[in-house]
Amino acid sequence: MFSFSCSRAISVAPALLLSLLLPVAAVADDAERALKVGESIYSQTCIACHGANGKGALPGVSDFKAADGPLAKTDDELATSIRDGVVTPGAALSMPAKGGNPALSEEEIQAVLAYLRKAFGR
Ligand code: HEC
């Protein structure tokens, strides 16, 4: 009887520990994956105008690195800008909806936004 309850306690403890740790690992994995997806979207769709350093490769493109630049805005505002595009009257260039790639999903918009914050610092 004693040995039964003792071995049960030993087998339950690691299982309990695992169940506490696994969700954290899964969330970290998801975030890592989203950043990879975001990076690949950026390098295919956004980099031509925004540049590898995020400072803008063409006249009229926002500088992501500037302290008062677009990354000071909220995630919701930026996701809307990426989804719908931004047209500033008189500006040299406009931000096309989804960076000109209509196939971009909502999840990919969030992924590229996460990448912007990670890569360009805000
Ligand atoms: C054809 C060039 C071009 C491409 C491609 C492009 N952008 Fe832009 N983007 C711009 C320009 C120009 C602006 C500045 C718009 C303004 O403020 O008038 C801008 C602004 C932004 C902003 C700031 C929006 C705001 O609310 O101030 C974000 C965020 C952004 N782009 C993200 C992206 C992402 C992500 C991609 C790729 C999926 C992308 N852009 C592709 C030209 C481009």
DSSP state of 87: -
Residue 50 Cβ contacting ligand 1 at under 6 Å: yes
CB distance 50 to 56 below 8 Å? yes
Residue 111 Cβ contacting ligand 1 at under 6 Å: no
Q: Output the pLDDT for position 76.
A: 98
Question: What's the pTM?
Answer: 0.84
Q: Which protein residue has the closest C-alpha to ligand 1 atom 29? A: 78
DSSP state of 101: -
Domain ranges of the chain: 29-120
Q: Output the pLDDT for position 77.
A: 98
CB distance 115 to 39 below 8 Å? yes
Q: How far apart are CA 84 and CA 53, in angstroms?
A: 23
Structure confidence by residue, pLDDT tens digits, 9-21: 566 677 777 777 7
DSSP H helical ranges for 42-87: 47-50, 75-84
Structure confidence by residue, pLDDT tens digits, 83-122: 999 999 999 999 999 999 999 999 999 999 999 999 998 6
CA distances from 8 to 3, 11, 54 (A): 9, 5, 56
CA distances from 19 to 8, 9, 14, 16, 28 (A): 17, 15, 9, 5, 15
Taking the centre of ligand 1 as the mean of its atom positions, its distance from the CA of residue 30, in whole angstroms, is: 25
Tell which CATH classification among 3.90.700.10, 1.25.40.10, 3.30.830.10, 1.10.760.10 matches the domain 29-120.
Answer: 1.10.760.10
Taking the centre of ligand 1 as the mean of its atom positions, its distance from the CA of residue 116, in whole angstroms, is: 11
Structure confidence by residue, pLDDT tens digits, 31-82: 999 999 999 999 999 999 999 999 999 999 999 999 999 999 999 999 999 9
Ligand 1, closest atom to CA 69? Answer: 27
Taking the centre of ligand 1 as the mean of its atom positions, its distance from the CA of residue 5, in whole angstroms, is: 63
Q: How far apart are CA 112 and CA 103, in angstroms?
A: 14
Q: Which protein residue has the closest C-alpha to ligand 1 atom 25? A: 70
